[in-house]
Amino acid sequence: MGPTAREAEPVPDPGAEQGALLDVRSMTASATPSRGGRRRAAPLGAQTISDELPVARVLLDLQPAHLDREYDYLVPAAMADACVPGVRVRARFGAQEVDGYVVARLAVSDHDGRLLPLKRLVSPEVVLTAPVLRLVRAVAAHGAGTTADVLRLAVPPRHARTEKEPPAPRGPDLGAPEIEDGARGVLELAPAPATWAGLWSAYRGGDAFLGRVAAGSAAKAVWTPLPGLAPSPEPGGVPTLPHWAAAIATAVRAAVGAGRGALVVAPDARDVDRIMHGLTVAGVPDVVRLLADDGAAARYRAFLAAARGQARVVVGTRAAMFAPVADLGLIVLWGDGEDSLAEPHAPYPHARDVLALRADLEPAAYLLGSPGRTVQAQALLGGWAREIAPTRDVLRARAPRVRALTSQALAAEGPGAGARVPTAAWRAARDALRTGPVLVQVPRTGYVPVVACERCRTPAACVRCHGPLALGSGTAAPQCRWCGRLAAAWRCAECGGGALRAVRVGSERTAEELGRAFPGVPVRVSSSSAPGGIVDLVPARPAIVVATPGAEPVAEGGYAAALLLDAGGATASVGLDTGTRALHRWLAAAHLVRPASAGGQVLLVGDAAPAPTGALVRFDPAGFAGRELAERVELSLPPAVRVAAVTGDRDAVAAVVGRIGLATPATVLGPVEVPVQEAAGGAGPASDGGSLFDDLPVRVLVRVGVAEGAELARQVRASLAVRSARREPGAARVQLDPPDLI
């Protein structure tokens, strides 16, 4: 049933009822407020209603959870032809006009009251397709969110000037999006590089998956790619493209050659550019890049190309996961272990989960690839997806040699074993520099991002806001990382000491130290805070490249060696995904190093946790993820269970949880007090300097089995709707399956 705007108003409003029923083709279209503050109908003009399908069912952009439903409006005759499902409209809701999307045109409404007419048609562009609408509803239901919240993520803001631009040239016709399986034509594509012919043959099940994609099957796979670079398209050329990017391009080519569309999502713009380059080399036509960071016009232009059927392939970051690709045949997600693929706004969907839902709804083939493997990806192998991985002999031939320089392994090195770059690592880097560049991965940007008192080791804090102090250079005064206040005369509050020591060393200080250790060798820094920013490609000449995780450039022909510094700090934090996240970052750097047969080696420096260290040495992310998943099953932790985390004021949290039928003494954990910033989702204090919460916030976890996960989401969603309708006081934030529970 489609309620009307009249039904949703919390206070009766006579102006919301219109002076005509559905079988009347002209009606009063305005209302004026009376002196008592209530509105009454005032016939200021007549408006003709469409003769054909006069009712539009509309999804409105309404934030309150209890208003999350569709509403029926009358369609004025002037906009009848252009008011089709998927277009943007504006409609009156109570005393205001709100944006919305038409989702259906009907002959009659199932509401027996009177309807309002639509106020205006914002644009005739169809921006909300039926498959994307189904996905939006599924994501909202899965995350206990509202449809309006997900629509804001799915459809970018309108850019009117971009809509008026002429369409870009395109390749062969896509055909109708509703073609039956087996009836699609085969496209004649430009020849692919001969050197890429066997990219998938090195994997168990690789060629079979490619064949199923070409046949239009909705195959699902979790893929562990081989390390190294893909062969150069030019015979005898120097490789510059990662193997995984060329393999993705080959898979997309198989889908496009079968007359289907493809969607590829990656963590950042650099990975998107590498995939785009691979698609160009593979001869894939009609490819657009969709990134939020490109700006409103560029993003909307790419979105329109997909919505109009002008783009066969969309490649982008998290913003592209809802892209309206016609006749979607293949979905690819690369690097699901990266934090950038998790949406920070409610209902907090992760691209991995959104694309998995989409692969089932459309349906389409799904390829999830990553250097490491998350526990969530491992859980997909329990019957939903198949594994694609290289055999051990092929992996040994392609992987570099990996050594873990722990304190135990360096016990015989003497005094040099305690250095941040121990003697063994220095010798390995010196030898590798004779044949090519050396990659040095450090966990943090900046110079010295964390300092402490040299005497008592107490972390140095700002006297004004108690934020952490950092050093911007070797001669700079300490400065607060929160408020920016200089602390030139800092004294320790515990012991009174005035000297500082480095606790964590950043990329710039590391580059400075390595420049002194290797005089005459060029040192480049690739990080978001470096003067030159993030570097994409470095030549094959000897050089030291210092990079933070995710900012490692590709070296022509591969790096001769890689040093992974401060390994102990990478696994020292508390969190469920600490080990898998560290292994993912280490493997991403190791994938850029030459194979052991060409002298490539990776040195892990520091006393990291034994399990991820061993997985790196063996190049075995799947085995590590499998053991992590088994432990979570035993401990009843996600993804073996579904968890709803309710955080906020104690009374508000109790009210929300109290309406959840599955919240029993056996399934509820808490309440426990949590820091204010964690409860606010990183928002911190309110803008007026006060707190977002009435008292110290608490968190309650509701934990149920996977089979009851959908029911838990439904009950949480219903409880939030009641809270919204009653306007209950206090703050409460709900997230299903939060990434970090401890």
pLDDT category of residue 473 using cuts at 50, 70 and 90: confident
Q: Which of 44-58, 596-610, 707-721 shows the lowest per-residue confidence on average (mean pLDDT)? A: 44-58
Q: Residue 24: what pLDDT?
A: 33
Q: Are 72 and 66 in contact (CB under 8 A)?
A: no
Distances (CA, A) of 616 to 291, 406, 553, 564, 590: 32, 13, 20, 11, 9
Q: What is the pLDDT of residue 176?
A: 38
Distances (CA, A) of 685 to 483, 677, 679, 689, 738: 14, 7, 10, 6, 21
Count how many residues are written for the chain.
742
pLDDT at 696: 80
Least confident of 174-188, 422-436, 692-706, 717-731: 174-188
Q: Is the pTM of this model over 0.75?
A: yes
Mean pLDDT of 728-739: 92
pLDDT score, position 14: 32
Q: Please state the rounded mean pLDDT for residues 326-355.
A: 95
Asked if the model's pLDDT at residue 30 lies above 60, the reply is no
Average pLDDT over residues 647-656: 94
Cα atoms in the 13 Å half-sphere on the side-chain side of 90: 8
Give pLDDT, residue 477.
Answer: 83
Out of 7-16, 120-129, 408-417, 629-638, least confident range: 7-16
Cα 588 to chain centroid, rounded: 18
Q: Quote the pLDDT of residue 46.
A: 59
Q: pLDDT digit string (tens) for 45-70?
A: 457 888 899 999 999 999 899 999 99
Residue 411 in contact with residue 607, Cβ under 8 Å? no
pLDDT of residue 3: 47
Averaged pLDDT of the chain:
87
Res. 170: pLDDT tops 70: no
Give residue 174's pLDDT: 44
The answer to whether the bond into 639 is cis (omega within 30° of 0) is yes
Considering only 13-22, 198-207, 473-482, which range has the smallest mean pLDDT?
Answer: 13-22
User: What distance in Å separates the CA atoms of residue 555 and residue 431, rounded to the nearest whole number?
Assistant: 17
Higher-pLDDT residue of 186 and 629 is 629
The predicted pLDDT at position 686 comes to 43
Predicted confidence at residue 333, as pLDDT, reads 98
Instruction: Give me the domains of the chain, ranges plus CATH numbers.
Output: 5-126 (no CATH), 194-395 (3.40.50.300), 400-630 (no CATH), 636-736 (3.30.70)
